[in-house]
Amino acid sequence: MSIAADPVLPHQSLWMFRLFRWHCGRYARKHFHAVRFSRSSPAIPALQGRPLIFVMNHPSWWDIIAGVVLTNRFVEFRHFAPIDADMLPKYRFFSRIGFFGIDSTPRGAARFLRTTKAIFEQPHRALWITAQGKFVDPRVRPIELRPGIGYVASRLQKGLIVPVAVEYPFWQERTPEMLLRYGEPLDLADGSHRDGREWTAAIESALTVAQDALAAEAIQRDPAAFEVLVSGKVGVGGVYDGWRRFKAWIRGRRFDAGHAPPPIDVKTEGSRA
């Protein structure tokens, strides 16, 4: 079953989107040690079918994979995303799973608004936006978003805007971590007095708080602070891990490919003091 294509509503084949989501999880498993979601993320209120707009920071090419993996937390929703209009002809597959082309002209902004309204005419619809419009290191401050997101927010009457912070730090393993965190949701109904600029500033502020909180957690390198959404591979592989495995077998020990230090036995350490 798919959504019919028309000049405004993006085409989406549901089975193709699900296949792409499965592929993204598999791809992340191959290239990351783990995809981790911050346990201290603010809760998203009861939705009752209301629209969701996820506004992500944009540090790398991997952000599409990050967003698609997160859609597993909202399987009852249909998910859509804008993409640079010049890129869409190069990646035609995206136009079949809910991506639609936009540009940075006033005409493009108007089309973006029409498309968003058409998507949100039905319940359980979500829009994913990397509103910085270009790759930006997650440590850069201040965060600057394109004004289109504020323009759209000022013209919608209901729904939630959810900031999403993402980072890809290296911890103990040769592959990086994919870290994700929600910011405090912004209710469109509570901001009817805001104009486009005020909405843009409000979203920038909420995303900044989310990125700062995620950065602090990334520095701590505490896996317990995160829920694991996708588990990847550990170790170096090849000859090196083969030799380590052989030594463990000779010594009658269980082989652990990971490089994280073993947990400290508090009771044992205390008895030695």
In the prediction, which pLDDT does 183 show? 98
Model confidence at 247, pLDDT cuts 50, 70, 90, reads low
DSSP 64-101: HHHHHHHGGGGTTSEEEEEEETTTGGG-GGGGGBTEEE
The class that CATH gives domain 2-230 is: alpha beta
Lowest mean pLDDT among 40-49, 125-134, 163-172, 244-253: 244-253
Is pTM beyond 0.75 here? yes
Model confidence at 266, pLDDT cuts 50, 70, 90, reads very low
β-strand partners of 231: 34
Domain spans of the chain, in order of start: 2-230, 235-272
In the prediction, which pLDDT does 223 show? 97
What b-and-e string marks burial along 52-78, b requiring 16 or more CB atoms within 10 Å of the CB?
Answer: bbbbbbbbbebbbbbbbbbbeeeeebb
Q: How many CB atoms lie within 10 A of CB 204?
A: 20
In the prediction, which pLDDT does 245 show? 54
β-strand partners of 56: 130, 164
Residue 50 CB-half CA count within 13 A: 20
- Hey, CA dihedral for 16, 17, 18, 23, is it positive or negative? positive
Coil/strand/helix, residue 179: strand
Residues 101-122 have a mean pLDDT of 88
Task: Using the predicted structure, report yes or no on whether residue 117 has a pLDDT greater than 90.
Answer: yes
Place of tokens 């990971």: 258
More confident site: 262 or 161 = 161
In the prediction, which pLDDT does 248 show? 52
Model confidence at 88, pLDDT cuts 50, 70, 90, reads confident
Of 217, 191, 8, 24, nearest to 113 by C-alpha is 8
Cα 239–Cα 243–Cα 247 angle in degrees, nearest 5: 170
In the prediction, which pLDDT does 20 show? 97
In the prediction, which pLDDT does 39 show? 98
DSSP-derived pairing of the beta strands 52-56 and 34-38: unpaired
Model confidence at 7, pLDDT cuts 50, 70, 90, reads low
In the prediction, which pLDDT does 128 show? 97
In the prediction, which pLDDT does 238 show? 43
More confident site: 125 or 269 = 125
In the prediction, which pLDDT does 91 show? 83
Calculate the average pLDDT of the chain.
86
DSSP H helices in the chain? 14-31, 63-70, 106-119, 148-153, 196-220, 238-250, 266-272
Residues 193-208 have a mean pLDDT of 96
